[in-house]
Amino acid sequence: MINLEPPKKAGALINQAYQAASQVLRPISRKYDRAEHAYPSELDMFAAVLDGLNSSGEGGAGAAGVRRDEKEKEKGNRNGGNLNTVLGTIEMCWGDVALLLSMPRQGLGNAAIASVANEEQLARFGKIWAAMAITEPDCGSDSAAITTTAVEDGDAYVLNGEKIFVTSGQRADAVVVWATLDKSKGRAAIKSFVVEKGTPGFEVVRLEHKLGIRASDTAVLRFDNCRVPKENLLGSPEVDTKKGFAGVMQTFDNTRPLVAAMALGVARAALEETTRILAEAGVTVDYDKPANTQHAAAAAFLELESDYEAAYLLTLESAWMADNRKPNSLQASMAKAKAGRSVVDITLKCVELAGAFGYSEESLLEKWARDSKILDIFEGTQQIQQLIVARRVLGKTSAQLK
């Protein structure tokens, strides 16, 4: 198997992210898992550090974007910005994925702004903490079925609708809301709007209690005749039926590799903990012997590691393509599908290999098993990713292959 080493220039960032994860995130992981909805105030000090990494072009933990307009293309490659962000995210989620999702100004909405916003909008919204609101009560992974409306009214758009499962929906300074300008025009009419906290008609209805990522607040939002300035519509207001959904979906080309990276961080944490537990039990994994000649637990562990490596390579490929201005929708979905499925399989099997110890709160293995499932669901479920991959490979449109 090919094993790609991280580029040397990313070494300092990886080390910084690992130190933050090991010294701050991991020690408070269980504390905020138990104290659901309590804000992790220990994270405030890291916001400025991550802002600095992003502004320097070194990448941070989630706010980088994929920009493919002609002006950006003239600048050439981003010097590994997306790859660095993925590598940093893996390290931080090795510490705790929910705490990373709680990090100020590193929300998925920030990635949307970085990907789609024009220069003026980047200047206005580049430093805020933005959540992303897509899912609705009757619309999950099929984002094209969005029913939240945005009606033009003078110098504003009036938003009406409800969004569910919005990560950081209560804590963030603003929310990037997906809404349709005209339902009759289908996918092409779906646009994203920055709605700032305190805007009349914007209400946080409730916070959800969840299986995992409990340190991260997950909110239900309602928009009732919420007036949003026209200049808060990200990108172009033009409804181009030829371009279709591509403008808005460009966001996912960036965020899906990030979610894959989150899954890799959790999976690696579980594998490392399981290695320690197996060693204490006298089970050693020998990489020079065939799996079928080793202890059953060692053979199972080798299979888990191979899944991890495959997901890792796919994720790095999708980030590298984004850095090199190559269309990466297929690779982003492949990485998300593989990493999302693998992290669930890996964490559950690690709990099993650790026995009663893995199922108790004496270890973080049971927490990682709970955290992992959402990484297979949000930013597009496993089934949606497989459908996207099938369309790309077979050259079918969404209308031809449903």
Q: Where are the domains of the chain?
A: 8-128, 131-232, 246-394
Residue 2 predicted with pLDDT over 60: no
Backbone angles phi, psi at 71, to 5 degrees: -60, -40
**Picking from 1-15, 20-34, 162-176, 195-209, which range would have the lowest pLDDT averaged per residue?**
1-15
* pLDDT band with cut points at 50, 70 and 90 for residue 60: very low
Dump pLDDT digits (tens) for 339-356.
Answer: 999 999 999 999 999 999
Residue 360 predicted with pLDDT over 60: yes
Please give the residue that has the higher pLDDT: either 245 or 43: 43
Residue 20 predicted with pLDDT over 60: yes
Tell me the pTM: 0.91
Q: Which of 91, 317, 366, 379 is catalytic?
A: 379
Burial 83-94 (b: 16+ CB within 10 A, else e): bbbbbbbbbbbb
Residue 4 has what DSSP assignment? Answer: P
**Per-residue pLDDT, 238:** 85
**Per-residue pLDDT, 332:** 95
- Strands 174-180, 130-133: parallel, antiparallel or unpaired by DSSP? parallel
Q: CB-based contacts of 372: which residues, under 8 Å, 6+ apart?
A: 212, 263, 266, 267, 343, 344, 346, 347, 348
**Per-residue pLDDT, 40:** 93
Pairwise CA distance, residues 92 & 107, whole Å = 14
Catalytic annotation on 74?
no
pLDDT (average), residues 146-169: 96
Residue 79 predicted with pLDDT over 60: no
**Picking from 16-25, 292-301, 335-344, 365-374, which range would have the lowest pLDDT averaged per residue?**
16-25
Tell me the three-class secondary structure of 46-98, residue by residue. HHHHHHHHHHCCCCCCCCCCCCCCHHHHCCCCCCCHHHHHHHHHHHHHHHCHH
* pLDDT band with cut points at 50, 70 and 90 for residue 61: very low
pLDDT (average), residues 73-101: 83
**Class of the CATH-defined domain 131-232:** mainly beta
Assign 42 to helix, strand or coil: helix
Q: If you average pLDDT over every residue of the chain, what do you get?
A: 88
pLDDT (average), residues 224-253: 79
Please give the residue that has the higher pLDDT: either 75 or 337: 337
Rg (CA), the chain: 21
Centre a 10 Å sphere on the Cβ of residue 360 and count the other Cβ atoms it contains.
Answer: 12
Residue 222's DSSP bridge partners are 162, 203
Residue 59 predicted with pLDDT over 50: no
- Residues 246-394, CATH architecture: Up-down Bundle (1.20)
Dump pLDDT digits (tens) for 367-400.
Answer: 999 999 999 998 889 999 999 999 999 999 888 9
**Per-residue pLDDT, 393:** 96
CATH T-level assignment (fold) for domain 8-128: Butyryl-Coa Dehydrogenase, subunit A; domain 1 (1.10.540)
